[in-house]
Amino acid sequence: MAGMSRPRPPYLQREKTRHGKLVWFVRVGRGPRTRLRAAYGTPEFQAEYLAAINGEPLPGVAPRVLATSLQWLWDSYRETGAWTELAASTRKQRENIMLHILKDSGAKPYAAIGKANIVAGLDRRSKTPAAARNFLDTMRGMFEWAAERKHVKADPTVGVKGPKRKKGKGFPAWTREDIETYLKSDEWRDKAGGYAIQGRAEAFVRYLAGSHSNVVGLPVFETLALLRSAGMPLG
pLDDT digits (tens, 9 = 90+) for 187-198: 767 666 566 665
Residues of the chain with pLDDT under 50: 1-4
Distances (CA, A) of 1 to 6, 10, 18: 10, 21, 35
What does the pLDDT read at residue 112? 95
d(CA 98, CA 36): 31
Domain 70-166 of CATH type 3.40.50.2300: no
pLDDT at 1: 41
Distances (CA, A) of 61 to 36, 42, 76: 10, 17, 21
| Residue 32: strand, helix, or coil | coil
pTM (2 d.p.): 0.52
Taking the domains of the chain in order of start, what are their residue ranges?
Answer: 1-63, 70-166
Calculate the alpha carbon distances from 26 to 19, 43, 161 in Å. 21, 16, 47
